[in-house]
Chain A
Amino acid sequence: MRIAAAFERAKNETRAALGLFVTAGDPDPKTSLEILLGLPDQGVDFVELGMPFSDPMADGPAIQAGSLRALKGGTKLGDVLAMARAFRDRHPEVPLILMGYFNPIYIYGVERFITDAVNAGVDGMIMVDLPPEEDQEFCLKARDAGLDFIRLITPTTDDDRMPVVLANSSGFVYYVSITGITGTRSASGDSIGQAMARIRDASDLPAVVGFGIRTPEQVREAAAHADGVVVGSAIVDQLAASLDDNGHATATTVSSVLELAKSLGEGRRP
């Protein structure tokens, strides 16, 4: 319900909702938690918390590197869930979505994971490598337990495919605005507008756009078409730029990420 309420709030304020992606444990558990807990106060409406994976096959260099930093720092799936719980304790209303790849969850145990995620106050899941064809693996069980399953629609999703992708979707619809991996290129406002129209014809869920959105200006442009906008790689890049030569956090790491979050938040209004 937190997801629907957050979009409702944004709508009432005639603006789009802003979601930010951060990788859990990047660059180290403590810094990562500080960033996560600080995001809502910068005007971030929902958070996508990345579950690090050794082989993120739909991610570009920035998020790959963030994942590897987190793994090197010892972050495990159980730690991601503990971060989620800490976030929920601090921010009872802000939607938290976990995003990642299936294998760590499969090894953790699907049923056990779903129980633990619900108990930690997680609202929804984005699973990059679980298309509708694999819904019996995870999606249906997660939905039964009350987790939203947010699916990606891409420029390759044609009219035949759209209903298949939407069938077991809930929470919101996430439009991947480019045919590509994270952090590489950006789509034009026009193409986003056309895609949003197509999605709204097919679904009543809030329509969110992400991939390739990096600046407050791009947030503003996308916000003109969408109910929500997600920024990921730009945040991870900002974090990476603040690290020392050994990849460790510095005094500016938390503040520089939160400052970027704040300026992105200013783009939410047309």
Chain B
Amino acid sequence: MNDQSPNASPMNSYRNQPDENGRFGIHGGRFVAETLMPLILKVEDAWKSSLTDPDFQKELDYYRKHYIGRPSPLYFAERLTAHFGGAKLYMKRDELNHTGAHKINNVIGQALLAKRMGKTKIIAETGAGQHGVASATACALFDMECEVFMGAEDVERQKPNVDRMRLLGAKVHPVTSGTGTLKDAMNEALRYWVSNAETHFYIIGTAAGPHPYPAMVRDFQSVIGHEARAQIIEAEGRLPDSIVACIGGGSNALGLFHPFLDDDSVSIYGVEAAGKGIETGEHAASLTGGRPGVLHGNRTYLLQNDDGQIEDAFSISAGLDYPGIGPEHAWLHDTGRVNYVSATDEEALEYFQLCSRLEGIIPALEPAHALAFIGSMIGDMDKDQIVVMNMCGRGDKDLGAVLPMLEERGKL
């Protein structure tokens, strides 16, 4: 995690955020109730001291290798490449991780921190259920209690993950307030934390929330980008031309992007969920359709009305169905270093099926959004160019929701 990029110049780097107050430009910060402040400061201390503790890093490396199954392969997607007829497409196979998504990279890190702080009770929020499953898994492994908050609508559309969490011994709290999706689950998790601040550790599942979470989660996820960078150099002898990842809160994307931020030759694309289409207003694209505001402990781009009330996000993908985005993405958007684009529900569905058929890889709906954007641009690139995408999760969890939709459209 001492991520010194080989070519980073510390003075003029995109990789040395946030400042000591947790700010990424105007974004980030610590907008939380006083009850939580002492806790958040303790988490920050524990995290900072872990960075220079060789024993902690050794333990983290051990679980990454033997439990998660890292490094994940960087796979040349030959048939999709042929199908698109443009640049070469590589997939960073984080869907092969134990529990089936990138979320476990962060969870193992935070669970080890919780252990270090002597906490044995864990809170987590979850959208697609992947972060909830990863948290339940780590709690089983480290003998911790696990309370997962999940929107009632998501409990329905991601049922297999709910069953997994229960089997692993976690308590799943369906959240009915608001729209019963990820935003409300996060509100409820924060409320539960406020009520149990002294005993519980809150494992936030994406690169958002109050400082130090955005930076901490990014660092735990950066293992993705560090591996990918070394792997593509080994495979191709050079850096990719473009890297692409989907964005809910932004943790898998930052994990891939961060080690490449100072590589000027690499164009970077974050793909938000356009839901039914940006123009319909029913989407989850906070950078495209939102503006800066304060929610869930940080300032960032939010979907909100003119009176500062948060609006509901909309996406086929429970993991992207969030009206905000991590503050570092907000800053990378402001600086222009990363290009933020979007893909609709229908596009994601199409690529969900295409990837399954052509590569024998059933992607989660979330990375299917990244593939959909790639499908719109990669054909125009030269054949000797290279694109790396983060295949951040597998789609088993989505079959219940996706199959009826494909049938309805006569695609199956």
Partner of A106, one of B35, B293, B296, B306: B293
Let me know if A107 is at the binding interface, CB within 8 A: yes
Is B183 part of the binding interface, using a Cβ–Cβ cutoff of 8 Å?
yes
- 5 interchain residue pairs of minimum CB distance: A107-B308, A104-B308, A180-B195, A54-B309, A154-B35
Whether A156 lies near B21 (C-beta < 8 A) is no
**Measured CA separation A56–B296 after assembly (Å):** 10
| Residues 86-126 of A contacting B (Cβ, < 8 Å) | 101-108
Q: In the bound complex, do residue B191 and residue A105 qualify as a contact, i.e. CB atoms below 8 Å apart?
A: no
Q: In residues 289-309 of chain B, which contact A (Cβ within 8 Å)?
A: 293-297, 299, 302, 304, 306-309
Least Cβ–Cβ distance between B156 and chain A, in angstroms: 22
Residues of A within 8 A of B293 (CB): 103, 106-107
Which single residue of chain B is at the shortest CB-CB distance from A179? B197
| Nearest CB on B from A57, distance (A) | 5
In the complex, are the beta carbons of A157 and B34 less than 8 A apart?
A: yes
B176-199 with Cβ < 8 A to chain A: 177-178, 183, 187, 190-191, 194-198
Nearest B residue to A181, CB-CB: B191
Q: A57-B191, A103-B295, A134-B30 are in contact. Are A179 and B198 (CB under 8 A)?
A: yes
A176 touches B310 (CB 8 A): no
- Are A134 and B31 touching (Cβ within 8 A)? yes
B residues near A133, Cβ cutoff 8 Å: 21, 29-30, 37
Write the nearest CB–CB distance from A113 to chain B, whole angstroms: 10
Of B31, B32, B194, B294, which contacts A179 at CB under 8 A? B194
Q: Verify B308–A58 contact, CB threshold 8 A.
A: no
Does residue A241 face the partner (Cβ distance < 8 Å to B)? no
- Bound CA span A32–B323, Å: 30
B69 on interface, CB distance cutoff 8 Å? no
Chain A CB within 8 A of B38 CB: yes
Known contacts A103-B310, A106-B308, A134-B29, A184 near B195 by CB under 8 Å: yes
Name the contact of A64 in the complex, choosing from B35, B36, B177, B302 (C-beta under 8 A).
B177
Known contacts A55-B178, A58-B194, A156-B197; is A103 also within 8 Å of B32 by CB?
A: no
Residues of chain A within 8 A (CB-CB) of B31 are 102, 129-131, 134
A77 x B195 contact (CB < 8 A): no
State how many angstroms separate the Cβ of B299 from the closest Cβ of chain A. 8
| A58 B39 Cβ-Cβ under 8 A | no
Question: B412 interface residue, CB < 8 Å from A?
Answer: no
B307 contact set on A, CB distance < 8 A: 76-77, 104, 107-108
26 contacts between A and B (CB under 8 A): A54-B178, A54-B309, A54-B310, A55-B187, A55-B295, A56-B187, A57-B187, A57-B194, A58-B191, A64-B177, A103-B293, A106-B293, A107-B304, A107-B306, A107-B307, A108-B308, A128-B33, A129-B32, A133-B21, A134-B29, A154-B35, A156-B36, A158-B38, A179-B35, A179-B197, A180-B194
What separation, in Å, do the CA atoms of A77 and B177 have in the docked complex?
22
A214 interface residue per 8 A CB criterion: no
Q: A106-B308, A156-B36, A156-B39 are in contact. List 19 more A-B contacts (CB 8 A).
A: A55-B310, A56-B187, A58-B35, A64-B177, A71-B309, A77-B307, A103-B294, A107-B308, A108-B308, A128-B33, A129-B31, A132-B37, A152-B33, A156-B34, A156-B35, A156-B198, A157-B38, A179-B197, A180-B35
Task: Kindly state whether residue A15 has any CB partner on chain B within 8 Å.
Answer: no
Interface residues of A (CB under 8 A from B): 53-61, 64, 71, 76-77, 101-108, 128-134, 137, 151-158, 161, 165, 176, 179-181, 184
Decide yes or no: A131 and B310 within 8 Å by CB, A55-B187, A102-B294 being known contacts: no
Cβ–Cβ < 8 Å partners of A104 in chain B: 307-309
Neighbouring A residues of B296 by C-beta, 8 Å: 55, 57
Complex formed: what's the CA distance from A152 to B194 in Å?
13
Q: B294 and A106: CB pair below 8 A?
A: yes
Partner of A103, one of B29, B33, B191, B308: B308
Nearest A residue to B310 by beta-carbon distance? A54
Output the least CB separation between B198 and chain A (Å).
6
Chain B residues with Cβ below 8 Å from A77 are 307-308
B304 contact set on A, CB distance < 8 A: 103, 107
Instruction: List B contacts of A107 (CB < 8 A).
Output: 293, 304, 306-308
Q: Which of A56, A77, A156 has the most CB of B within 10 A?
A: A156
| A112 vs chain B, min Cβ distance (A) | 13
In the complex, A130→B177 CA distance in Å?
24
**CB-CB contacts of B56-78 with A at 8 A, as 1s and 0s?**
00000000000000000000000
Query: Do A153 and B34 touch across chains, with their CB atoms under 8 A apart?
Result: yes
Cα–Cα distance between A107 and B21 once the two chains are bound (Å): 22
Closest Cβ–Cβ distance, residue A75 to chain B (whole Å): 9
Bound: A218/B38 CA distance, A: 28
Nearest-Cβ distance from residue B191 to partner chain A, whole angstroms: 5
Are the CB atoms of B309 and A53 closer together than 8 Å? Answer: yes
Q: Which residues from chain B contact A103 at a C-beta distance below 8 Å?
A: 293-295, 302, 304, 308, 310
Contact of A152 with B34 at beta-carbon distance under 8 Å, contacts A64-B177, A103-B304 already known: yes
Contact at B33–A58, with CB atoms within 8 Å? Answer: yes
Chain B residues with CB below 8 A from A152, complex form: 33-35
CA distance A54 to B304 in the complex (A): 10
**Residues of chain B with a CB closer than 8 A to A154's CB:** 33-35
CA distance A266 to B32 in the complex (A): 35
CB-defined contacts of B196 to chain A, threshold 8 Å: 179
CA distance A220 to B293 in the complex (A): 41
Q: In the bound complex, what is the Cα–Cα distance between A59 and B21 (angstroms)? A: 26
Closest to A161 in B: B38
Q: Is the CB of B294 within 8 A of A129?
A: yes
Closest beta carbon of chain A to B333's beta carbon, Å: 18
User: Nearest Cβ in chain B — how far from A76, in angstroms?
Assistant: 5
Residues of B within 8 A of A55 (CB): 178, 183, 187, 295-296, 310
Q: Which of B21, B29, B302 has the most CB of A within 10 A?
A: B29
Interface string of B303-347 (1 = CB under 8 A from A): 010111110000000000000000000000000000000000000
Most buried by B among A101, A133, A161: A133
